[in-house]
Structure 1
Amino acid sequence: MKKKVLIHSIVFSPDGVSTAYLYNDIALKFKESGYDVTVLTTTPHYNVLADALKKQPMQSKLFGLFYESNFKGIKVIHVPQKKFKQTSLRILGFIYWHILSFFLGLFEKRVDVIISPSPPLSIGLINIILSRLIGAKVIYNVQEIYPDFLIEQGSLKSKPLILVLKWIERVVYNQSDAVITIDSVFYDSIINRFKNKSKLHVIPNFVDTDLYKPMDPVSVILDKSLFPDNPETLKVMYAGNIGHAQDWKPLIEAAIQLKEESIEFFIIGEGVLKEYVESQVRLHKLSNVHVLPYQPRELMPSLIAYSDLQFIFMAPEMEANGFPSKVYTIMACAKPLLICSGKDTPIYKFLNDKNCAYLVQDRELATKVEKIVSILRNADKSTLKEMGWLGLHEIDTNYSKHQVTIKYVNLVEELFTKQ
């Protein structure tokens, strides 16, 4: 009889965010490897894509208490969820999702292993309780370190709540059958929080190299009114969430200093700080900065191909506890990066010896901006191309979808072999 994997994640297809895409591929690898796979998730609410909803329609169950859909032969159970602006409503929705997903998981038959990514940390606790009741093993995937991430961001200051979350973290790490983290920096940060250190494994994130790959500029199809053909201009781009995890001040300051030069900045996406970025562009009359709406995932290879250089400026208070998965997609498309992040952070350590990125580790804003401006003024397009190809080689060697997803399958098989 096939072993059954229950993937319990706050996002999954047809939601259009990076963790959803990541776990779509992990789910498919388990199915391909002969496992019975079910996914327990929410209705799309982070990045709702009309085309994706058409391809994967959801059917109401029990008068809308939950929904079901089919993702390439995999059953997906969706608990209704909305992206409320009001904090109290978000909390209520979050609690509702936890309770209902717990009971839906309880009624799933003969589950052998439950896999879930963070955030949220609480999903790990729910799955440990669930696993004890249904006799399954549990694997928890640390995509971001909580509660450290919230504390350093400044959004979590309540000492009693911090103590509770740290207790949950200890329980999740030590009661799970295995914990996966995505790189050596994360590993070093949390390894001493384990009683049994052999439970912690490093499996990096990956990129779908079938989708993300180099494109001939001639084959790039984009709206010319938004992305004009300017071969002499250096095109510097960021595409993703415009939020607190990024540091927008150095970008604005650099754009001010470079506003009279042949350098254009493209900021593509949505997020809580988009209005702030747009207001700064208006305030400083930055005609060299273009803030554009979210573009479909299928256009990302074209967007990356259109650019000469991709930038990621990490917010200092959050840079130690997160790793942007877009790093892999950019490298897979053979484009170089311009990174602002501290020396001991995951993104800096990952890229430091790859020769495919400019790395700015300075903390002081003026120094940081000075280095960014110098890099952009002296950027040579032939050098940028060479850097891009070095990044692609690294991805092909170590971080393709096919190479990494099988490590999840191998870990599950290893857990059952130890029985």
Structure 2
Amino acid sequence: MSGDHKEYLLVTEYFHPDTASTGQLMTDLAVGLHERGLDLSVYTGQPNYHSGANERQPTHSTHEGVPVRRIRAPQVRQSSIVRRLMNWALFTTWMTALLLFERVDRERELIFVTCPPFMSAAMWFVCTVRGWEYTYIAYDLYPDEPVELGYLQKSGVVHQLWEMFDRKAFQDAKHVVALGPVMKSRISAKGGQSFDTDKVKIIHNWEDEEFITPMAKSDNWFSKEHGLEDTFTVLYSGNIATFHDLETLVKAAAELDDADIQFLIIGEGDNKERIIDLAEELGVRGDTVRFLPYQPWEDLPYSLTAADVSVVAVKEGFEGIVVSSKLYTAMAAGQPVFVISQPNDDEAQLIERFDAGVNVKQGAVEDAATALERWQQNPDLVEKQGQNARQAFEANFVKDIAIDEYYQMLSGTEQIQMEAN
């Protein structure tokens, strides 16, 4: 049945005006699919992340032509893991109940993203009961992530049950979206021997190529305001979570304390205090390593382009479990990308493929310091790899490319094209 005869429903915890990266991406996806003619609505909750948390939204509204329904589940500001767990449990339970008992007049197909972590099991259950098809978008893999973080015992009862439900969710999905080849391999293994790996499609995340564009520091008010204009600057901007290895970055900063390199870490997260304490302990907080809170949405085109090099950091053990959306933003900014990850990670492979930066392993402090010092002393290399990053971004990771791939997959035009060829 074509997309004109059914209703598509995108279920996501985050949506405009939430400024979490998932909210931005899901907003882009919904609007883009609507513009391409897909009959799509969004079911979401009240904003509770970053600046969007201050704006209470109506239960029913429209965003750029897309109908949006917000459930009434109470939400609290996400300032700790306990608060997040509460939000996740409330959102998932409320959304599951709504979808199970809501009266529906047309055929419905669900699209959901792995946020909250329990969403895949819940949506699999809903769709099994109601006989709906669904698309599973894997932004993170669960329960792999809490196991790697030490929150969940591997092979324990909860882990085994969670794995069982997630395996069923993969097996019964109409489509599964992975963010890279390493993630696809993990999903294929999780799906079991009978799993049809052909249903897993790699669709990379994206950045808005018109919102984030390369900018000379001499033309950037943010660079001037923060004294970055004449100093070689290394930037990390985003969530400071436990699975983002900023320890290696701060230790490398200590090695380069006398090298006139400025490190700027922008953002918030569970691991921020630990990183600040490490910088204090190494004596580099302040002059060498500076910390700023999340910047307003309208300032991001300036804050994200205020540096010479952008950092993407993924903790060892998370290969294929997550693919950092910061990678695409850094490439859009036209800066070399300093990837701290295992060399077989999706982020590292992309940077190597396009000669758009450097990858060092977690904990390789001397290698990190050497790479950063090489950039500082070689402006031509910075310019070349920055240009490579932007060119690769424009050719592969802009919004329209990704949303076209989603549309072709969901509407069936991709299969029609394959059969015609």
TM-score greater than 0.5 by the shorter chain: yes
Alignment deviations for residues 133-168 of structure 1 (CA, whole Å, 9 cap, x no partner): 544320001111211222122221160011011101
Corresponding position of 1:162: 159
- Does the C-alpha gap of structure 1 residues 306 and 168 become closer, same or farther in structure 2, counting only changes over 3 Å? same
1:395 aligns with 2:393: yes
Instruction: Please show how residues 324-403 of structure 1 align to structure 2 within 5 Å.
Output: 324-361=324-361, 365=363, 368-379=364-375, 380-403=378-401
- Match for 1:103 among 97, 100, 103? 97
The aligned amino acid for 1:72 is E
Distance 1:397 1:223 in 2: 28
How many residues align structurally? 401
1:76 aligns with 2:78: no
- Does the C-alpha gap of structure 1 residues 229 and 371 become closer, same or farther in structure 2, counting only changes over 3 Å? closer
Distance 1:89 1:332 in 2: 33
Distance 2:10 2:222 in 1: 36
Corresponding position of 1:11: 14
Alignment deviations for residues 272-323 of structure 1 (CA, whole Å, 9 cap, x no partner): 1111222223333322111011012332221232200112232113344111
- Does the C-alpha gap of structure 1 residues 92 and 324 become closer, same or farther in structure 2, counting only changes over 3 Å? closer
Q: Compute the TM-score of the two structures, normalised by the length of structure 2.
A: 0.88
**More off after superposition, 103-112 vs 271-280:** 103-112
Distance 1:178 1:50 in 2: 32
Q: Which runs of 5+ in 2 are unaligned?
A: 417-421
Instruction: Please show how residues 18-417 of structure 1 align to structure 2 within 5 Å.
Output: 18-49=21-52, 53=55, 58-59=57-58, 67-79=59-71, 80-83=74-77, 90-106=84-100, 107=102, 109=104, 110=106, 112-157=108-153, 159-192=156-189, 193-194=191-192, 195-222=195-222, 224-225=224-225, 227-231=226-230, 233-286=231-284, 287-361=287-361, 365=363, 368-379=364-375, 380-414=378-412
The aligned amino acid for 1:284 is L
> Could you say what secondary structure the match of 1:352 adopts?
helix
Corresponding position of 2:419: none
Distance 1:2 1:320 in 2: 36
What is the CA-CA distance between 1:351 and the residue it aligns to?
1.7
Distance 1:280 1:96 in 2: 35
Contact 2:228 2:307 in 1 (8 A): no
Distance 1:145 1:125 in 2: 12
> Could you say what secondary structure the match of 1:149 adopts?
helix
> Could you say what secondary structure the match of 2:412 adopts?
helix
What is the CA-CA distance between 1:17 and the residue it aligns to?
0.8
Distance 1:228 1:116 in 2: 43
Distance 1:267 1:82 in 2: 26
Distance 2:39 2:388 in 1: 38
Distance 2:111 2:45 in 1: 15
Distance 1:23 1:37 in 2: 12
The aligned amino acid for 1:166 is E
- Does the C-alpha gap of structure 1 residues 272 and 121 become closer, same or farther in structure 2, counting only changes over 3 Å? closer
Distance 2:205 2:177 in 1: 11
Provide the identity percentage.
23
- Does the C-alpha gap of structure 1 residues 21 and 88 become closer, same or farther in structure 2, counting only changes over 3 Å? closer
The aligned amino acid for 2:112 is S
What RMSD over aligned residues (CA atoms) do the two structures have, in Å? 2.4
The aligned amino acid for 1:370 is E
What is the CA-CA distance between 1:415 and the residue it aligns to?
8.7
The aligned amino acid for 2:52 is L
- Does the C-alpha gap of structure 1 residues 5 and 332 become closer, same or farther in structure 2, counting only changes over 3 Å? same
Alignment deviations for residues 146-204 of structure 1 (CA, whole Å, 9 cap, x no partner): 11222122221160011011101111001111111111111122214252222222111
Q: Which runs of 5+ in 1 are unaligned?
A: 60-66
Contact 2:217 2:229 in 1 (8 A): no
Q: Compute the TM-score of the two structures, normalised by the length of structure 1.
A: 0.88
Distance 1:185 1:223 in 2: 36
Alignment deviations for residues 317-348 of structure 1 (CA, whole Å, 9 cap, x no partner): 33441111111111112111111211221211
What is the CA-CA distance between 1:99 and the residue it aligns to?
2.4
Alignment deviations for residues 225-270 of structure 1 (CA, whole Å, 9 cap, x no partner): 5x11542x21011000111111122222212122222100000001
> Could you say what secondary structure the match of 1:378 adopts?
helix
> Could you say what secondary structure the match of 2:44 adopts?
strand
Contact 1:112 1:135 in 2 (8 A): no
Contact 1:181 1:201 in 2 (8 A): yes
> Could you say what secondary structure the match of 1:376 adopts?
helix
- Does the C-alpha gap of structure 1 residues 349 and 86 become closer, same or farther in structure 2, counting only changes over 3 Å? closer
> Could you say what secondary structure the match of 2:222 adopts?
coil
What is the CA-CA distance between 1:413 and the residue it aligns to?
1.4
